[in-house]
Amino acid sequence: MAKLMYFAQLAESLGKTSEQVALPVSAGNVKALIDWLGRRDEAYKQGLAEGKGLALMVNRAAATLETVIHDVDEIAFIPERLK
Protein backbone atom coordinates (compact mmCIF):
# COMPACT_ATOMS: atom_id res chain seq x y z
CA MET A 1 0.00 0.00 0.00
CA ALA A 2 1.14 3.53 -0.73
CA LYS A 3 1.53 6.04 2.08
CA LEU A 4 0.06 9.46 1.34
CA MET A 5 1.13 12.38 3.54
CA TYR A 6 -0.55 15.77 3.83
CA PHE A 7 0.82 18.91 5.47
CA ALA A 8 -0.38 22.23 6.92
CA GLN A 9 -3.73 23.57 5.66
CA LEU A 10 -4.18 20.55 3.39
CA ALA A 11 -4.00 18.21 6.40
CA GLU A 12 -6.47 20.44 8.22
CA SER A 13 -8.98 20.45 5.37
CA LEU A 14 -8.74 16.67 4.93
CA GLY A 15 -8.79 15.96 8.66
CA LYS A 16 -5.70 13.75 8.49
CA THR A 17 -1.94 13.98 8.09
CA SER A 18 -1.49 10.64 6.34
CA GLU A 19 -3.22 7.52 5.10
CA GLN A 20 -2.38 4.17 3.55
CA VAL A 21 -4.13 3.41 0.26
CA ALA A 22 -4.06 0.65 -2.30
CA LEU A 23 -3.45 2.51 -5.54
CA PRO A 24 -5.79 1.66 -8.40
CA VAL A 25 -4.18 0.42 -11.60
CA SER A 26 -5.16 3.71 -13.25
CA ALA A 27 -2.98 5.72 -10.83
CA GLY A 28 0.33 5.30 -12.62
CA ASN A 29 1.61 8.81 -11.92
CA VAL A 30 1.01 11.63 -9.44
CA LYS A 31 -1.52 13.40 -11.71
CA ALA A 32 -3.62 10.22 -12.03
CA LEU A 33 -3.45 9.75 -8.24
CA ILE A 34 -4.70 13.30 -7.67
CA ASP A 35 -7.54 12.72 -10.14
CA TRP A 36 -8.49 9.47 -8.38
CA LEU A 37 -8.41 11.10 -4.94
CA GLY A 38 -10.58 13.95 -6.23
CA ARG A 39 -13.19 11.48 -7.44
CA ARG A 40 -13.23 9.85 -3.99
CA ASP A 41 -14.05 13.01 -2.06
CA GLU A 42 -14.73 16.68 -2.76
CA ALA A 43 -12.26 17.79 -0.05
CA TYR A 44 -9.43 16.10 -1.98
CA LYS A 45 -10.65 17.58 -5.25
CA GLN A 46 -10.49 21.09 -3.83
CA GLY A 47 -7.33 20.66 -1.77
CA LEU A 48 -5.27 18.98 -4.49
CA ALA A 49 -6.60 20.92 -7.48
CA GLU A 50 -3.96 21.98 -9.99
CA GLY A 51 -2.80 25.50 -9.33
CA LYS A 52 -3.16 25.14 -5.56
CA GLY A 53 0.59 25.61 -5.16
CA LEU A 54 1.62 22.20 -3.92
CA ALA A 55 5.12 20.79 -3.87
CA LEU A 56 5.12 17.06 -4.58
CA MET A 57 7.51 14.44 -3.26
CA VAL A 58 7.75 10.73 -4.00
CA ASN A 59 9.95 8.69 -1.68
CA ARG A 60 11.37 11.94 -0.26
CA ALA A 61 12.55 13.19 -3.66
CA ALA A 62 11.08 16.15 -5.53
CA ALA A 63 8.41 15.04 -7.99
CA THR A 64 6.16 16.39 -10.73
CA LEU A 65 2.66 15.47 -11.86
CA GLU A 66 4.25 13.09 -14.37
CA THR A 67 6.35 11.20 -11.78
CA VAL A 68 5.57 7.48 -11.95
CA ILE A 69 4.28 5.99 -8.70
CA HIS A 70 3.90 2.47 -7.35
CA ASP A 71 1.80 0.88 -4.62
CA VAL A 72 4.79 0.82 -2.23
CA ASP A 73 5.71 4.51 -2.53
CA GLU A 74 5.48 7.36 -0.04
CA ILE A 75 3.84 10.39 -1.66
CA ALA A 76 3.77 13.79 0.04
CA PHE A 77 1.68 16.84 -0.79
CA ILE A 78 3.28 19.98 0.69
CA PRO A 79 1.74 23.45 0.44
CA GLU A 80 4.15 25.90 -1.24
CA ARG A 81 4.35 28.10 1.84
CA LEU A 82 6.27 25.30 3.60
CA LYS A 83 8.88 24.83 0.85
pLDDT at 83 over 80: no
Closest CA to 4 of 40, 50, 57: 57
Sign of CA dihedral 60, 63, 37, 80: positive
Domain holding 34: CATH number? Answer: 3.10.20.30
Pairing of strands 74-79, 2-6: parallel
pLDDT at 80: 78
Find the angle CA(74)-CA(16)-CA(29) to the nearest 5 degrees. 35
Contact 8/47 with Cβ under 8 angstroms?
no
pLDDT at 81: 64
> In total, how many domains does the chain have?
1
| Confidence class for position 28, pLDDT limits 50, 70, 90 | very high
pLDDT at 49: 83
Helices (H) and strands (E) in the chain, counts: 3, 5
pLDDT at 40 over 50: yes
Residue span of the structural domain in which 22 resides: 2-82
Q: pTM score, two decimals?
A: 0.91
